[in-house]
Structure 1
């Protein structure tokens, strides 16, 4: 509001005051213009003087630089004449002449003669003779008798490594007519000495520049160092300003148009006298302007004093009008319903929001009593809000008669005039959605509470201090307390100290690190019993991921633990019984072997001595056969007991199974010959390495092969294969052409004392062989299976894990 008031006062300033200010302003502007004009004129004069000075210095430096370069050119001309007179085979003798020529001119750092291939034939630097020099890098090779100035070199290669030089090339012909090139390297620092005349003038620097803008030499304080590249200085010798604070003059060398001298002068140094003059001009102008301003201020102040009262009155009226407009805009933009009543409760003001709530225009509501507009159920609440005798702000929910089921929160404050209530002012907010959401939330909370109480599992919710916020009925029952009694407590308030310490430690862990934690704990129940509980606790996090509490559930696993212990005890008893049985069989087998050996021995003796008596020999033969069958049964029982008990052990080692299989095949060869059987043995060309007990593995192969021989018809073929499959398993298969195995018995034949129904005619054994084979193979981590082959017969498959010799896995 203040800027608007100031603008209003400026527009209402008296004419005389405006004329006084305008006159004083014009005088000050004229004074400033005169001062600026003098300063600009003097500045231009001083700048022209600096330009003339720079141009004069440029011509002086150009003369010295031209003389120096001409001297260097003459050195090359003399050297060219010497080259033309010297036979090619004696060009190396020119080193001394080149050295004297270079020594006679301080500007010339080195000279050299280079042939067409770039080889240095002669040089003032004898060590460089025979080296190669890239002439094309120095400058375009000129024709015979012509010269060319090259670019700045920071490193002249074999002639002057590491020194700053400027090359000058001259084309020449040798005594034999071959084209040659003379090279003179000018010392850049010596060349800068010819620019010293520019340095004698303060704020002045000079540079020798090629037409393409490359700086060949420069004074130490120049704007660009040697080797840098500037914009092309142009033709002629005009002075011009390349920068706002520099005066630049260029002068092209008369004898070498491709080179120019550039002289720069710092304009700040040259304008020191001008700045001194301007300072005095500004002081005088400021003093005069101050006098004019003071006189103008005094005159204008006297005029403004007469209008001060009127301006203040206008400003106050403007402020009141603006506040009224602002208040009107605010009232229109407010989302709430705003109203004012008189002392009798009649509406004297309402905003436009009332039309949406009541369905009537705002103007039609003025003069009506507020009690008439609300729903009959809400009239008592409105009457209480408007009741006399209360001066504090009061609020109550209200429904309008024409607003359906919508609800509003009313807030009313009395308007006082001394001790008398002259009306009420208030507002109303539509809270229908809020009430609906609150009701739905209460219903959901009630449903959640009911669900928790009906859950059989104890459930509790804790805050960030591990205090109970809510617990379900199962939790309270287990704790032996009421639900409300548990709220606000910690576990230490009702559990034994030892139990509480475990739970509180886990509570702190979940609250600190979040996530879900599961553990088991012993819990004492109110009846004195102890139960094993599986406790699950999960962190409850806010939107930022911070833990605000935790949710805990309990699961009674006491019966499960009892069943687990009973199962383990039963298993231990069964294992102990099995071990006792196996040890008994092992011991009794050993006890049976001694009398069996005697029976077999005496029966063999009887068979030998009773050969003359056929009947006696037959009886001893029957006794011997029965003893052998009994011994085989005892041996099988002994093998079973060794495998099942701790008496038997396996000595595993990595070995190639092919030699083991071949050895077993050789052992059964007599049986094959006796039955006119053929063994088709095919083993992998690669090694079949596995970690096995060689003797036990051979026992498996021997037993399976013996069964194949036993059940194969005379003249049949038995197939024996060995290879590694895609699962890195060594597979040994034995196929016979016997009667086969009924499908229902393919698995039961591996049980102890079980024989196939097709072999119970006496051709089978004790029924322990395949059971022993399966136990041995499974002890090696493998499998043995039986199946009926296509075309008749059966196939037995033995598989064990393959292990290479380099494999370190046990």
Structure 2
């Protein structure tokens, strides 16, 4: 091989060595970068789990602390209820029990009456103080309790004395409860919870993580913190994502981002199960990543050594191997730290209220927290070794096996299973299981179980209610449909199908006006648009095409159906067939019109005949009067002319009555209403009939009201009606008898006129028929009666005025006629024209 060739081979080898060195260096750098990224994610994930676990532990501690204070209040309430009186001397021993002094989280407990006076207290010197509770916030109802907002101070003395000096950052959480003593007095029990005790526990919980733990109200007001922060207790935490974005949609969660402290934080929060409190745990991302930075620096050194090894040869390679060994030892130490933290977490898990467990690869339980006691009433050791599939109900065992499948491609597995509790009832649990990997295979499973029995029961009740509503819709005889805001059908019932003649399968999803005429579609679209714009309910009547081709009169009722966000989701429409009612109305209207035409024609005929009869009657009466004058010397001839004259007068009276009837029925407009005193009309009628009274020797006992009896009426027509009634009484009264006439005002805003006589009376079966035209009482059909039109005319006049007339028999003989007229207000000219 020539030198040139060797140099070329050497150059190529050197070039290849350079290329390989560069590729190997890039590979090392890329591997180290990926490893650093992976380690960072693992570190942050571990910090999130740690923060979430601490938040769950602190929330449980806060809840149990408040519940312990609540138990003390209930115990004090039971003791007070057994006291015969609420004297302070009898209440004070209840608050001096050792139980109160042994609870460090309680500053004091007291009994306060409804005036705000402290009756008894666990702190000497507080009884007798007056507390202004107006600023405490809304107090609970009797028999209930409430946790009030944080108040500054240490005791009731601080709360009662507004100007007393207080230490900065010192406050109490009042827990109050109304109870009633045996004598019926109501008092308020107050327990002042020390937020500092909660902060001390928070300090212990986060002492190894260098973070901060906060306790706040649901509204974001700081209650306590494990170390000083920028806010004082009671101040509002502004701009925190937990209160701005997370609550109240989610009651617990964990995220990395903005918190109360400066810089990015690992934040975990959890709301109390029973109280309006929220626990926040914040771990500084920079502090969390500090171990990772150390490992990254270490990996950087390892990478540098690796590059030096590549460039330096075998010696450097050996040194790089030593460095890797050193890195391996450091990694093992880190794993030991992780194992230590896991043991600490297992201790914390025992206080979590959810059921948390761990199994081996076959599904046998190897660990379970203390929540197991609440489910089985047995210790956690009893569950060790049992398989979860043996504890669930028989139908759920196959799905339980699916949770523990060894397919490592499936991550989180969830199933809803039924477990039988210690009381024998089946409880529903939402079980989540995550496989645990080790040495490249699944070595076990970790899981949690949440009791969702109440939610399952609510879902079942909801489904039954929906099924019942659907059944009611199908059974409804009214056609019902629903369509969305775009005008597409989404629901119809069986009655709608039967009416329209279209199956719902061909209707759902189509436009509302698809099978309507353009005019009908425009009418419905206008109503729907107005309803969607203004809400409420729309009701209108139109004609709808029936499946048999006829158009039916229908009343449509539409209401807006609200959606999830409060916006309209559609319109619900019901149809009611009123065709038969409208046909009946049309038939009634046509019959009434025909009757009115016949009545007008009859009235016109009677008026024409009456006018035609009056002409010859005037001639007969004139010649009969002339015959009477000229036949005075011939008694027989004079008697004949007198008979002719009297018969003509009776005939003329009959014709005049017929004319009055026809005028009343056909010319209501001739009634002219004016304000009149009814007493004057009655007196005028009596003066007019005075000759008739004198002729029969009758006396009139007149009773009139002292005050004017003012009413709006037609004086001529009312005068005619009253004269007819009084004239009838005179006609049928015995010779030298008496009439009783009374005109008074009643309490029902009406005027009443009564005319009583001692005549033959009226048979009971004819008390109503005598007011019909041409009908007379059977007791007066002896020739002394008239035409039978007088009382009929009276009733028509009274009816047109809105009044009434009726007759009754008097005790001892005779009849009494009663006329009632309404007292119309000024300006009321409405007549009853139903004739």
If the TM-score is normalised by the length of the shorter chain, which range does it land in? 0.5 to 0.7
2:676–2:713 Cα contact (<8 Å) kept: yes
1:738 matched to 2:759? yes
1:622 matched to 2:640? no
Cα distance, 1:405 vs structure 2: 3.4
Where 2:549 maps in the other structure, the secondary structure is: coil
Match of 1:552 in 2: 573
Match of 2:282 in 1: none
- 1:675 and 1:757 map into 2 onto residues whose CA distance is 23
User: Compared with structure 1, are the counterparts of its residues 394 and 666 closer, same or farther at alpha carbon in structure 2 (3 Å cutoff)?
Assistant: same
Match of 2:720 in 1: 699
- 1:324 and 1:750 map into 2 onto residues whose CA distance is 109
1:410–1:427 Cα contact (<8 Å) kept: yes
- 1:624 and 1:516 map into 2 onto residues whose CA distance is 75
- 2:431 and 2:684 map into 1 onto residues whose CA distance is 106
Cα distance, 1:794 vs structure 2: 1.9
Cα distance, 1:422 vs structure 2: 2.2
Cα distance, 1:371 vs structure 2: 3.4
Match of 2:733 in 1: 712
- 1:723 and 1:557 map into 2 onto residues whose CA distance is 49
1:654–1:690 Cα contact (<8 Å) kept: yes
Match of 1:395 in 2: 414
Match of 1:339 in 2: 357
For residues 70-85 of structure 1, what are the structure 2 equivalents within 5 Å? none
Where 1:759 maps in the other structure, the secondary structure is: coil
Where 2:539 maps in the other structure, the secondary structure is: strand
- 2:393 and 2:457 map into 1 onto residues whose CA distance is 19
Match of 1:372 in 2: 390
User: Compared with structure 1, are the counterparts of its residues 694 and 359 closer, same or farther at alpha carbon in structure 2 (3 Å cutoff)?
Assistant: closer
2:351–2:370 Cα contact (<8 Å) kept: no
Match of 2:616 in 1: 595
- 2:766 and 2:515 map into 1 onto residues whose CA distance is 64
Which one of 535, 547, 572 corresponds to residue 514 of structure 1?
A: 535
Residues 623-679 of structure 1, C-alpha deviation per residue, up to 9 Å, x if partnerless? 333222222211111111110113872233223344433332222222122111223
Match of 2:746 in 1: 725
- 2:669 and 2:393 map into 1 onto residues whose CA distance is 98
1:786–1:794 Cα contact (<8 Å) kept: yes
1:476–1:486 Cα contact (<8 Å) kept: no
Match of 1:583 in 2: 604
- 1:477 and 1:541 map into 2 onto residues whose CA distance is 28
1:634 matched to 2:652? no
Cα distance, 1:782 vs structure 2: 2.3
List runs of 5+ in structure 2 lacking aligned partners.
1-297, 299-329, 830-835
- 1:333 and 1:566 map into 2 onto residues whose CA distance is 83
RMSD (Å) for aligned C-alpha atoms: 3.4
1:750–1:770 Cα contact (<8 Å) kept: yes
Match of 2:684 in 1: 663
Cα distance, 1:423 vs structure 2: 2.1
- 1:763 and 1:544 map into 2 onto residues whose CA distance is 87
- 1:562 and 1:504 map into 2 onto residues whose CA distance is 27
Cα distance, 1:523 vs structure 2: 1.5
Match of 1:785 in 2: 806
For residues 434-453 of structure 1, what are the structure 2 equivalents within 5 Å? 434-453=455-474
List runs of 5+ in structure 1 lacking aligned partners.
1-308
1:340–1:347 Cα contact (<8 Å) kept: yes
Match of 1:567 in 2: 588
Cα distance, 1:723 vs structure 2: 3.3
1:785–1:798 Cα contact (<8 Å) kept: yes
Q: Please say which structure displays the higher CA radius of gyration.
A: 1
Cα distance, 1:588 vs structure 2: 0.9
2:352–2:370 Cα contact (<8 Å) kept: no
TM-score, normalised to structure 1, is 0.56
- 1:679 and 1:351 map into 2 onto residues whose CA distance is 110
- 2:619 and 2:348 map into 1 onto residues whose CA distance is 125
Residues 396-434 of structure 1, C-alpha deviation per residue, up to 9 Å, x if partnerless? 333447765333333323223464222222223333433
- 2:812 and 2:644 map into 1 onto residues whose CA distance is 41
Match of 2:369 in 1: 351
- 2:592 and 2:725 map into 1 onto residues whose CA distance is 33
- 1:730 and 1:571 map into 2 onto residues whose CA distance is 33
Where 1:792 maps in the other structure, the secondary structure is: coil
- 1:600 and 1:326 map into 2 onto residues whose CA distance is 135
1:795 matched to 2:816? yes
2:420–2:426 Cα contact (<8 Å) kept: no
- 2:394 and 2:708 map into 1 onto residues whose CA distance is 102
For residues 80-99 of structure 1, what are the structure 2 equivalents within 5 Å? none
1:708–1:736 Cα contact (<8 Å) kept: yes
- 1:359 and 1:347 map into 2 onto residues whose CA distance is 17
Match of 1:250 in 2: none
Cα distance, 1:718 vs structure 2: 1.8
Residues 666-694 of structure 1, C-alpha deviation per residue, up to 9 Å, x if partnerless? 22222122111223344344433332323
Cα distance, 1:316 vs structure 2: 9.1
Cα distance, 1:323 vs structure 2: 4.9
Cα distance, 1:752 vs structure 2: 0.9
User: Compared with structure 1, are the counterparts of its residues 423 and 798 closer, same or farther at alpha carbon in structure 2 (3 Å cutoff)?
Assistant: same
- 1:484 and 1:521 map into 2 onto residues whose CA distance is 26
1:376–1:401 Cα contact (<8 Å) kept: no
- 2:358 and 2:808 map into 1 onto residues whose CA distance is 102
Cα distance, 1:553 vs structure 2: 1.8
User: Compared with structure 1, are the counterparts of its residues 690 and 404 closer, same or farther at alpha carbon in structure 2 (3 Å cutoff)?
Assistant: closer
Across the two proteins, how many residue pairs are aligned to each other?
497
TM-score, normalised to structure 2, is 0.54
User: Compared with structure 1, are the counterparts of its residues 723 and 344 closer, same or farther at alpha carbon in structure 2 (3 Å cutoff)?
Assistant: closer
Cα distance, 1:769 vs structure 2: 0.2
Residues 299-319 of structure 1, C-alpha deviation per residue, up to 9 Å, x if partnerless? xxxxxxxxxx9xx99x99999
- 2:371 and 2:452 map into 1 onto residues whose CA distance is 14
Cα distance, 1:489 vs structure 2: 4.8
Where 2:779 maps in the other structure, the secondary structure is: helix
